[in-house]
Amino acid sequence: MKIIPFILALLCCITAQAQQYDESKVPAYTLPDPLLTLSGQRVKNVRTWEKVRRPEVLRLFEDNIYGQMPHDFDSIRFTTLREEPRAMEGKALLKETRISVYRAGQSVSIHLTLFIPNNVPRPVPVFLLINNRGKNITDPDRKEKSPFWPAEVVIDSGYAIAAFHVSDLAPDNKDTFVNGVLQLYPGQLQAANGMKAIGAWAWGAARVMDYFEKEPLVNASKVALTGHSRGGKTSLWAAAQDQRFAICITNCSGNSGAALARRQFGERVSRINTTFPHWFNDNYKKYNDRENDLPVDQHMLIALIAPRPVYATNATKDLWADPTGTFLALKNAEKVYALYGLKSNLPSTPPATNAAVATSILGYHNREGEHDMTLFDWTHFIQFANIHFRKR
Ligand code: GTR
């Protein structure tokens, strides 16, 4: 009879699933201290953080998770492909730009879609989305409209909104991810700490920032970088690497994003490395089922973004991305913000469903619903940006 093994396998599967989401199964863990250097020095001020510990932590993330971030290239060129001064029924200027980057005889091109509101003083602050979903989501013609990138709502709030697609940098596929940025940096593929897809996407965000710095209509000192899920892992890594991003928003980013790995709740390092072997560097695979051996945890990725504001979200039905682990990562980054005299207003335990903490330098909400980025999320991103940009 084959039915008995089948039932046993099913029961095993159901038990494993239940354990993934069972708070009582979270093991005891000790987080690495962001304020203790590798040589055992206690970090007590911004100077030691910025000169010693921050570079150390950045290197640990490069070496063990996301890979190196190459900064050199031969040239970069911005080509305007399309300009519609009265797009969105006259509300905005649409500008589509090709950003081409050249290195060692190879090149990569990023297609940037940007709407700039017409009736506000320019240069304007801008939201930039790292788009990991369909290209139709950022339709420049606005025939299709998606709450994932609610351009009209953002424009009505007085912000510019931009997006690029991850596939321009690295296709999200284990067999083809090398067709993009990695052609420019072939050495990365040989190195155990070489960049892969998430590194390439973050590199792309930095090239868009290069463009913003040359675009007189947008305020490059007020760029809020946002991404969902794998895009949210990328927004954190990009903002950690590139301090020109003024605000970082990470939506449902979960494992290897804003959620603590050591909680082993929902998605695990082993699982993400197996399903998506092309996202992180080869060294990361050493930590499959060994989260406690990691020299970092994700609160330190958030800490790398200090003193800039970070807003992290989750959704109640997205336990895979560990909402509590995300909240705790923010809480455990607080002490680095405190070095800068910045006190977060996060409560000591996760806020109620849909209760957004947007006034805090470290912001958070856990929305009712599924793994997605919705109008509810964007409404709070805008609120968060209103508060923090106006403070400056
Ligand atoms: C899932 C993956 C998550 C998250 C998500 C997404 O399958 O396990 O880490 O990245 O995909 O990007 O939507």
* Residue 3 pLDDT: 72
**Structural class in CATH, domain 37-391:** alpha beta
Instruction: Label residue 17 by pLDDT band (50, 70, 90).
Output: low
Active site residue 371: yes
The pairing of beta strand 362-367 with beta strand 160-165: unpaired
Is any atom of ligand 1 closer than 6 Å to the C-beta of 319? Answer: no
Instruction: Label residue 392 by pLDDT band (50, 70, 90).
Output: very low
| pLDDT surpasses 50 at 212 | yes
Q: Return the number of other C-beta atoms located less than 10 Å from residue 14's C-beta.
A: 10
Candidates 229, 235, 256, 360; catalytic one? 229
**Probe residue for ligand 1, chosen from 66, 198, 237, 267 as the CB with the greatest number of ligand atoms within 8 Å:** 267
pLDDT in tens, 25-55: 999 999 999 999 999 999 999 999 999 999 9
| pLDDT surpasses 80 at 85 | yes
Domain map (residue ranges) of the chain: 37-391
Distance between Cα 83 and ligand 1 center (Å): 35
Distance between Cα 320 and ligand 1 center (Å): 9
* Residue 14 pLDDT: 56
Query: Can you tell me the mean pLDDT for 81-95?
Result: 98
CA distance 26 to 33: 20
Distance between Cα 202 and ligand 1 center (Å): 17
φ, ψ dihedrals at 305, nearest 5°: -85, -15
C-alpha distance across the termini of the chain, in Å: 71
Q: Is 324 left (phi over 0), alpha (psi -120 to 50) or beta?
A: alpha
pLDDT in tens, 169-185: 999 999 999 999 999 99
Q: Among the atoms of ligand 1, which is closest to the Cα of residue 275? A: 8
Is any atom of ligand 1 closer than 6 Å to the C-beta of 346? Answer: no
